[in-house]
A and B are shown apart, each in its own frame.
Chain A
Amino acid sequence: MLLRYVTKRLLIGLVQLVVLTVAVFFLIRLLPADPISRFVGLNPSEEAYAQAERSLGLDRPVHVQLLHYLGLAPSQGTGLLQGDLGDSWVSGSPIAQEIGTFLPVTLELITISFFVAFLIAVPVGMLSATRPGGAADRGVFVYSLFAGSQPEFWWGLLFVYLFFFVLGVAPAPLGLLSPMTSEPAVITGFITIDSLLAGRLDVFLEALHHLMLPVATLVFILSGPIIKMVRQNMVRALQSDFVLYARCAGLPARRIAFYALRAAMAPSMTLIGILYGFMLGGAVLVESVFSLGGLGQYAIRSILAFDYPAIQGVVLVITAISLSVYLLLDILHAMIDPRVAY
C-alpha cells in the first residue's frame, strides 16, 4: 500500500515538474527583452546581432528550443533528460555548476537558522504550553506574532548598523568569508563543512562569524511561526488522552512532557518542511543584505540579466527541492500513520 502511495505521489510530482518546466519556458519568452544587446556591446551592427542570436540558439523555432531544453532533440545537444540545465547566457558556464556553488550557501544559511530557531522554539514553546494563559505564555504569544510579521531585510540592515557600524563586533556584510581568506577546497560546497574537512578551523570560525548576523536575522523571523506552532501542538498533545492516562498512571512530569513533545513533533515537522521550502527562495532578501551569494541572489541576477536558461534552472531546482521535501514529509507521515496512504 505504501509503495503504491509513494509511486502515485512521485508520478504526480513528476507531472507537476514537467508542467512547471514548460510553463516557465514559455513565460520567460514573454519577457520584454533578451540579453543579446549585452553581447553586441561595442559593435551594435545587424550582423553582430544576428551572430549573437545564433550563438544563443534564439534563431531557432520555439518548439525546437523547447525540445532541446527538455533533451528530446538529440541533434541539438543534451538537455534536461540528460541532466543538463544548459549554459548561462551571461557567464557561459553550465547552470548546474553555477547552481552547485550558489545553492549550498542558501542551504547552509537556512539549515543553520532553522536548527537554531528550533533549538530556541522548542523550550520556549513548551514553557508557554505548560502554563497556558500565564504571563510567560502571553509574552511568548505576542513575541511570536511580532517576529512572524517583520521585514527581515530591514532587521538585517538594522543589525548591520548596530553590530557592524556602531559596536564593531560583527564583520562587514560581505559574504561568508572576508576577501583575504583563501577558501578551502570545495568538497561539499558547504563552507562550514569543507573547512572542517580541510582542517581549517580558522576558516570555519570565520564563516560562523560572518553567518552570525544573517542567521540571527532569520532566526528572529523564523522563531515566530515555529514557536507558535510548537506551542499549539504541545497544548493539544498535553490535553490528549494518552497524556491524561500517563498522568493518571503517575508518571513523572518530565516523562510526560517528553511524550507530549514527541507527539507534538510530527505535525510540527510538516510546517517546518513547508517553511524550509519557502525559505529556499524567501531567503533572498537576507542574502542580498549580507551579499552572501546564495541561490536567491543568483535568481535576482539571472532575472535582471534576462538569462533565460538560468531563470529556468533556478525555478526548477527550487521547486524540485520543495516538492521533494513535501513528498518526503508525506511519506514519513504515511509511514507513521498508515491511514494517510488510503
Chain B
Amino acid sequence: MTVASEPMDKPRRRIDVLFLIGVSIVSLTVFLALFGPVLAPYDPTVATGSYAVPPPPLADWPRLFWGSITGSLDQPPHWFGTDASGLDVFSRVIAAPRIDLTIALAANGLSLVFGVLLGLAAGYYKHWWTEVMMRASDVLQSFPVFISAMILVALAGRSMTNIVIALALLYTPIYIRLTRSEVLSQKVRGYVEAARAIGNSEAVIAFRHVLPNSLAPALIQASVTIGFAILLTAGLSFVGAGVRPPAPEWGLMISTGANQVILGEWWPSVFPGIAISVTVFGFAVLGNALERRYDGA
C-alpha cells in the first residue's frame, strides 16, 4: 500500500486542530442534548405570546446579556426572535439536539448492530441465503433514499421511533457491505488459520476473532453517518415527514420558517440552519480524523 506517501498524514499538527474542532462541536452537541432543554430560557413547545418578533439588534446584546444575568429584565430576551407561532427560536435551537442526536444515534446503533452481524455472516459463510441477503441489500441501496424514507414514515406515522426505524433500514446495507468486505479480507489471515488449528469452533472464530478485527471500518463509517442521519432527519422534517410539531427539531424549524423567508422573515429558519451546518460539519471532521488515524496506524 502507498499509505506512507499519503500526503495528508505528514503535517500531524493540522489534523489535530481539525480533530479538536470536531471534538468540540460534537461535545457541545452532546452537552446540549443532555442539558439544552433545561438551559432554555423558555419552554421550547409553549407559545410565548409574542409572534414573529425579530432578534434584538446586535448592539443591544451586551445590555440584554447583562440584564438576563442580573435578572433585571421582565422576561428573558428572545435572542433569536420568535416564530409565527410565538415559540422562542433560541430555546428551540438549543433544545433540538436532544431529538436530533437521539434519532441519529439510535438509527446508527440499530443499523450498526444489524449491519455488522449480517455482514459478518455474509462474509464468513457462503450460503444461498447470504447471497439472497446481499442481493436484497443491493435492491435496498438502489432505492431512492429520501423517497423511501418518506414512504416509510408516511406508512407508519410521524414519530421518533418510526424515523429511527426508517433510517436504520436505509443504513443497514451500508454496514453490511463494509463489514462483509472487511471480513472477507480478514478470514484469510494467518490468525484465523491459527485459531482454527488450535481447535476453535467456527462460531468462536467468527465472533471472537474475526468480528473484533473487522469492526473498525463500520465504526468509522458510523461517525460520518451520524452527521448524515441528522441531515436526513432534518430533510424529512422539511418535506413534512419528520417529527411532529411543535417538537424542537432543527429541520422542522427551518421548514416552518421557510414560507416567511421569501417575505424577509429570516430568523426562524436561519438560526436552526446554522446549528445543523455546524453540527454535521463537526461529525464529518471527527469521522475524517478517525479515518486517517486508523489508516495511518
Inter-chain residue pair count (beta carbon < 8 A): 148
Known A145-B284, A151-B276, A154-B276; contact A31-B154, beta-carbon cutoff 8 A: yes
Instruction: Give Cα A133 to B13, complex, Å.
Output: 12
B154 & A303 in contact (Cβ 8 Å cutoff): yes
Residue B239 at the chain A interface, CB threshold 8 Å: yes
- Inter-chain contacts of A15 with B (CB < 8 A): 135
**Which residue on chain B has the smallest CB distance to residue A297?**
B239
**Which residue on chain A has the smallest CB distance to residue B269?**
A157
Residue pairs across A and B with Cβ atoms less than 8 A apart, 11 shown, are A16-B139, A153-B238, A154-B276, A158-B273, A172-B262, A282-B144, A282-B145, A285-B146, A296-B147, A299-B144, A314-B144
Residue A19 at the chain B interface, CB threshold 8 Å: yes
Binary A-proximity of B109-150 (CB < 8 A = 1, otherwise 0): 000000000000000000000000001101100111111101
Within 8 A of B (CB), among A138-178: 138, 141-142, 145-146, 148-151, 153-155, 157-158, 160-161, 164-165, 172-173
Residue A249 at the chain B interface, CB threshold 8 Å: no
Of the stretches B1-9, B39-47, B185-193, the one at the interface is: B1-9
Instruction: Give Cα A12 to B276, complex, Å.
Output: 40
A303 & B258 in contact (Cβ 8 Å cutoff): no
A278 & B262 in contact (Cβ 8 Å cutoff): no
Instruction: Give Cα A133 to B11, complex, Å.
Output: 7
Residue A264 at the chain B interface, CB threshold 8 Å: no
A151 CB contact (under 8 Å) in B11, B148, B231, B266: B231
Instruction: Give Cα A149 to B116, complex, Å.
Output: 25
- Inter-chain contacts of A151 with B (CB < 8 A): 231, 234-235, 251, 254, 273, 276-277, 280
Of the stretches A36-44, A62-70, A317-325, the one at the interface is: A317-325
Instruction: Give Cα A124 to B291, complex, Å.
Output: 23
Instruction: Give Cα A284 to B145, complex, Å.
Output: 11
A303 & B150 in contact (Cβ 8 Å cutoff): yes
In this complex, the member of A138, A149, A155, A158 whose beta carbon has the largest number of chain B beta carbons within 10 angstroms is: A149
Instruction: Give Cα A148 to B241, complex, Å.
Output: 23
- Inter-chain contacts of A148 with B (CB < 8 A): 284
B157 & A164 in contact (Cβ 8 Å cutoff): no
Contacts A151-B273, A315-B144 aside, 6 further interface pairs with beta carbons under 8 A come to A19-B139, A146-B284, A153-B235, A165-B263, A278-B145, A285-B238
Within 8 A of A (CB), among B1-29: 2, 5-8, 10-11, 14, 18
Residue B164 at the chain A interface, CB threshold 8 Å: no
A285 & B288 in contact (Cβ 8 Å cutoff): no
Q: Smallest CB–CB gap between B141 and chain A, Å?
A: 9
Chain A binding surface, main DSSP class: helix
B147 & A314 in contact (Cβ 8 Å cutoff): yes
Instruction: Give Cα A278 to B141, complex, Å.
Output: 10
Q: Smallest CB–CB gap between A132 and chain B, Å?
A: 3
- Inter-chain contacts of B7 with A (CB < 8 A): 132-133, 137, 235
Instruction: Give Cα A288 to B154, complex, Å.
Output: 18
Binary A-proximity of B54-78 (CB < 8 A = 1, otherwise 0): 0000000000000000000000000
Known A138-B14, A148-B284, A304-B240; contact A16-B154, beta-carbon cutoff 8 A: no
- Inter-chain contacts of A326 with B (CB < 8 A): 142
Residue B104 at the chain A interface, CB threshold 8 Å: no
Binary B-proximity of A23-40 (CB < 8 A = 1, otherwise 0): 100011011100000000
Residue A236 at the chain B interface, CB threshold 8 Å: yes
Interface residues of A (CB under 8 A from B): 12, 15-16, 19-20, 23, 27-28, 30-32, 132-133, 137-138, 141-142, 145-146, 148-151, 153-155, 157-158, 160-161, 164-165, 172-173, 235-236, 239, 277-278, 280-282, 284-285, 288-289, 296, 299-300, 303-304, 306, 311, 314-315, 318-319, 322-323, 326
Instruction: Give Cα A315 to B280, complex, Å.
Output: 28
B258 & A157 in contact (Cβ 8 Å cutoff): yes
**Which residue on chain A has the smallest CB distance to residue B22?**
A145
Instruction: Give Cα A340 to B297, complex, Å.
Output: 31
Instruction: Give Cα A303 to B150, complex, Å.
Output: 8
A145 CB contact (under 8 Å) in B235, B276, B281: B281
A145 & B147 in contact (Cβ 8 Å cutoff): no
A300 CB contact (under 8 Å) in B142, B228, B239, B266: B239
B18 & A142 in contact (Cβ 8 Å cutoff): yes
B277 & A20 in contact (Cβ 8 Å cutoff): no
B227 & A288 in contact (Cβ 8 Å cutoff): no
**Which residue on chain A has the smallest CB distance to residue B18?**
A142
Within 8 A of A (CB), among B92-116: none
- Inter-chain contacts of B234 with A (CB < 8 A): 151
Known A160-B262, A235-B7, A303-B154; contact A149-B146, beta-carbon cutoff 8 A: no
A315 & B147 in contact (Cβ 8 Å cutoff): yes
- Inter-chain contacts of A318 with B (CB < 8 A): 144, 147
In this complex, the member of B139, B144, B254 whose beta carbon has the largest number of chain A beta carbons within 10 angstroms is: B144
Residue B184 at the chain A interface, CB threshold 8 Å: no
**Which residue on chain B has the smallest CB distance to residue A300?**
B239
Instruction: Give Cα A165 to B285, complex, Å.
Output: 33
Q: Smallest CB–CB gap between B229 and chain A, Å?
A: 12
A284 & B262 in contact (Cβ 8 Å cutoff): no
B254 CB contact (under 8 Å) in A28, A150, A154: A154
Instruction: Give Cα A282 to B276, complex, Å.
Output: 18
- Inter-chain contacts of A133 with B (CB < 8 A): 7-8, 10-11
A304 & B2 in contact (Cβ 8 Å cutoff): no
Instruction: Give Cα A157 to B263, complex, Å.
Output: 12
In this complex, the member of A30, A285, A322 whose beta carbon has the largest number of chain B beta carbons within 10 angstroms is: A285
Instruction: Give Cα A246 to B259, complex, Å.
Output: 58
B277 & A288 in contact (Cβ 8 Å cutoff): no
- Inter-chain contacts of B195 with A (CB < 8 A): none
